[in-house]
Structure 1
Amino acid sequence: VEGTGEELHNSVKSEVAIQSDMKPAVAQILEGLQRNKFVFSSQNEWWRELEKKCQDNKKIVQAMSADVSTPLNYYAVFHNLYEALPDNCIIVSEGANTMDIGRSMLFNNLPRHRLDAGTFGTMGVGPGFAIAAALYCRHYEPNKRVICVEGDSAFGFSGMEVETMVRYKLPITVVVVNNSGIYTGMEPEIFKDIQESGEITKVTPPGCLSSVTRYDNMMSLFGRVGFFVQTVPELKKAVNEALKIKDGPTIVNVIINPTADRKPQTFNWLTESKL
């Protein structure tokens, strides 16, 4: 079920593709099932296998969320970040693993409260989306907060929009999930050794960014404070303090393991490019 027609059959061809908003589509499907007295047994082999996979996935994610050893992993960050967020805030998210994992860890109870890069993963849209959302909140829902969760690579595309946020005094909390790379980065010592091993433009992996970049220090350009985070207690404290700021943005720079990854996927098409 997809509201936008051109998104139907994206990546994998659907057996049945319905262009509709979710609510009327589900209502009509349920009405048809009830009219035909359709019953699906909970003992069906397919259903039992699906239920087992759901429980197995849940256990894996719970274990990763509970692992708060440093450097942190994505799941521990998102689990504890979500617990610190105000109810029904608008969540903007973009990045590689940051956006993908965030979709399953940072939940929304209301429609139109998640903005991200969409199917094609167009990086750089996050801060602009957050600015638009914050302007909406200023005029129509002044008590609602905007949380902009960025991978460090994604943040690099349009991070200086922070100046726009400062200029218009928009209270956006920017959380940079910093693994020092695109999908994977490197520890500072290893990154330094590799760059010194030959011609720097030839030996530096294109997917690696500068290690442990202090994006939080960007706030000092405007006489404001950012937060540098390496542990879960620091994350909770930083988010709580950031949400107290009402006259402008701040950056919470969360350092995670440069080799942190998403939960293993069973099917390759779940992670392959959709272009």
Structure 2
Amino acid sequence: MAEIHGGRVVARALKAENVTYIFTLCGGHVMPIYDGCVDEGIRVIDVRHEQTAAHAADGWARVTGQPGVAVVTAGPGVTDAVTGVASAHRANVPMILIGGQGPRPFADMGSLQDMNHVELMRPITKWSVSVPEGRRLAEYVAMAFRIATSGLPGPVFLEMPIDQLFQTYDETRILFPTKYRTEAGIAGDPRYVERAFELLRSAQRPVILVGSQLRWSKRREAYLKFVDTFGIPVYVNGLGRGSLPPDHPYFFSQTRKDALRQADVVLIFGTPLDFRLGYGRETHFNPAAKVIQVDLDGAEIGRNRPIEVGIVGDTGLVMEQLTQLAEAERFDKSLIKPWLDEIRRRETEKWERMRPELESDAVPINPLRACKEIADAVGRNVIAIGDGGDFVATAASILRIYEQGHWLDPGPLGTLGVGPGYAMAAKLAKPDHPVVIIYGDGSFGLHGMEFEAMVRQKIPVVGIVGNDAAWQQIRRGQIQLYGRERAVATALDYTRYDRVVEALGGHGEYCERPEEIRPAIERALASGKPALVNIKIGTSEFRKDAISI
């Protein structure tokens, strides 16, 4: 009779889910899980703050399409991870957070770090639960993965008391589930899909918005054929970025607001009508536009504005259904080509208006010129993580992303500090791709010490700081509202963050002129070390009046 401890049970269950890394900050309540991971061949990546561990689990899911796993100790270990879990929850990203807990027999007796984690995590997870009995640890891991990945994905929290993890069990009496979930997707109601097609067929100025749910679709391969069949301008947001290459004939990025204000039909796939889309109101949408909304969550359909057709379904599957109807009805995309050409003309004009700043030789460096130099230096295969406000939003307009899951940003919760966790996960998942963090100088201060963890564990990520000595996204509006003399709490210094990374054992670069940027990034990427390129930038009117609430 073989005996294994609870930590080994958990690790074996994780291995059955093809988990190869867990992200953690060490704690006594969860030590047996580490020990089990050593036996099961799962690498344990340790970080300097539990928020980073949670962001890394989130980032792993975004890059690979499979849930990431973070393991944290009880009490403050769990509370420190809350922000990372909340960020994943708002973005509908599947991840698993395992949290420790005091011994079950000592519940409510005041054991070390004892608190009610389950109720704390319930509002920001799809499922929050404490494992009731040690022999069921593997069952609960399996349930966690099933719930995290089914329907609209999201995070799951599993609490595991320390006595369950240290206790040993007869291996033959442990149930390790198999065949416990389906990969089937949700197709749209055919009647509603037909209604949507009729609207598209009669449209003269249609627009398509593709959001993050494409990343989790069971039929992503239907996307390109759908786009080519209909020939409609496509805009993307969230994890939809990279789903079409920037040189695709139907991809647009600079004219979304213009197109939505004139569109007669708007087809929205898997993204909410939240602040990013002006809540679907007339400031961003033509009030007379007919809206078709496709979402895995029926409760999301019709939120914030009336819709003409609502379809509950998987983005890719509904795209496939629409394509089949178009082929059967011999849909003629040439009828909307004048609209397509008009939007392309406006797109070109927008880029031309940006050109003076993109090519500016000003010192301090213009933010748009800095972003152009970054884009030219990092190449097509880059995985770019945005961790900041104003500078990251500028970079998002300039960087060219060629693959889905290769642009990660703070998401709809607007969480700063995501960079190191996302980046470590991305580099571990795809070691042959360059991974860069586009930082605001404010955001670097949140988790800059994670470069120590990267150096020690040989995870060569490159950070690039747009250093304007301010929390610029807030400061600009603050000055407009209250005047410079009353603009408190938003000014920083031109700090040498590159030297911080050098002191931690990484590679540092500092740039004050635009022509210095690309060589500095190339040296940082070639160093084979975690690195930071610190770029002193000035200001630009490009992001004026851009605060969203």
TM-score, reference length from structure 2: 0.41
1:41 equivalent in structure 2: 335
Counterpart in the other structure of 1:255 = 536
User: Aligned residue for 2:468?
Assistant: 179
Q: Which amino acid aligns with 1:251?
A: L
- Alpha-carbon contact 1:150-1:174 (below 8 Å) kept: yes
Q: Which moved more, 1:112-121 or 1:49-58?
A: 49-58
CA distance 1:249–1:93, change in 2 (3 Å):
same
Deviation at 1:2, TM superposition (A): 3.5
Alpha-carbon distance in structure 2 between the residues aligned to 1:47 and 1:224: 48
Q: 1:31 to 1:68 in 2, by over 3 A?
A: farther
Which structure: greater strand fraction? 2
Query: Is residue 2:395 matched to residue 1:102?
Result: yes
Q: 2:366 aligns with which of 65, 69, 73?
A: 73
Q: 2:273 aligns with which of 9, 14, 21?
A: 9
- The equivalent of 1:131 in structure 2 is 424
Q: Supply the distance in 1 between the matched residues of 2:394 and 2:384 (Cα, whole angstroms).
A: 13
- 8 Å contact 1:179–1:185 — kept in the other structure? no
- Residue 55 of structure 1 is matched in structure 2 by 348
Change (3 A) 1:177 1:231: same
Distance 1:123 1:223, change over 3 A: closer
Secondary structure of the residue aligned to 1:41 is helix
1:207 counterpart (490, 493, 496): 490
2:374/2:517 contact within 8 Å kept? yes
The Cα of 1:181 is off from its aligned counterpart by: 0.9
CA deviations 1:194-228 (Å, max 9, x no partner) are x9x9xxxxx66222112x11111102323444111
Residue matched to 2:548: 272
C-alpha separation between the residues in 1 aligned to 2:532 and 2:420? 12
* One-letter amino acid matched to 1:182: W
Distance 1:27 1:33 in 2: 10
What amino acid does structure 1 have at the position aligned with 2:406?
H
Counterpart selection for 2:503 from 213, 217, 221:
221
Which sections of structure 1, spanning at least 5 residues, go unmatched?
A: 187-194, 198-202
Contact kept in structure 2, 1:97 and 1:261, CA below 8 Å: no
Alpha-carbon distance change, 218 to 162 in structure 1, aligned in 2, over 3 angstroms: same
Q: Distance in 2 between matches of 1:56 and 1:175?
A: 29
111, 118, 137: which one aligns with 2:411: 118
Counterpart of 1:241 in structure 2 is: 523
Structure 2 CA distance for aligned equivalents of residues 251 and 169 of structure 1: 15
Partner of residue 158 from structure 1, selected from 447, 451, 471: 447
Residues 60 and 114 of structure 1: CA distance in aligned 2, closer, same or farther (over 3 Å): same
* Bigger shift: residues 95-104 or 157-166: 95-104
Paired-residue identity, %: 25
Per the TM alignment, residue 25 of structure 1 is displaced from its structure 2 partner at its CA by 4.6
1:9 aligned partner, one-letter code:
L
Q: TM-score normalized by structure 1?
A: 0.78
Q: Is the 8 A contact 1:89 1:145 kept in 2?
A: yes
Match of 1:18 among 284, 294, 297: 294
Select between 68-77 and 46-55 the one with higher mean Cα deviation: 46-55
Equivalent residues of 1:8, 1:17 under 8 A apart: no
**In structure 1, C-alpha distance between the alignment counterparts of 2:351 and 2:319, rounded to whole Å:** 25
Q: Following TM superposition, by how much is the alpha carbon of 1:58 offset from its aligned partner in structure 2, in angstroms?
A: 1.5
Q: Which has the larger radius of gyration?
A: 2
User: Corresponding residue for 1:200?
Assistant: none
Is the contact made by 2:463 and 2:532 (CA closer than 8 Å) also made in structure 1?
A: yes
**Paired position in structure 1 for 2:67:** none
How far apart, in 1, do the equivalents of 2:425 and 2:416 lie? Answer: 17
- Cα distance, 1:129 vs structure 2: 0.8
Deviation at 1:41, TM superposition (A): 3.5
CA 1:72–1:30 in 2, change beyond 3 Å: closer, same or farther? farther
Cα–Cα, structure 1 residues 143 and 32, in superposed 2: closer, same or farther, change >3 Å? same
Q: What letter corresponds to residue 8 of structure 1 in structure 2?
A: P
Instruction: Give the secondary-structure state (helix, strand or coil) at the position aligned to 2:548.
Output: coil
Q: Which moved more, 1:102-111 or 1:27-36?
A: 27-36
Select which of 220, 224, 230 maps to 2:512. 230
1:122-141 superposed Cα distances (whole Å, 9 cap, x missing partner): 1111111111112223xxxx
RMSD (Å) for aligned C-alpha atoms? 3.0
Answer whether contact 1:182 1:208 (CA < 8 A) is retained.
Answer: yes
Distance 1:48 1:123 in 2: 38
C-alpha separation between the residues in 1 aligned to 2:474 and 2:362? 18
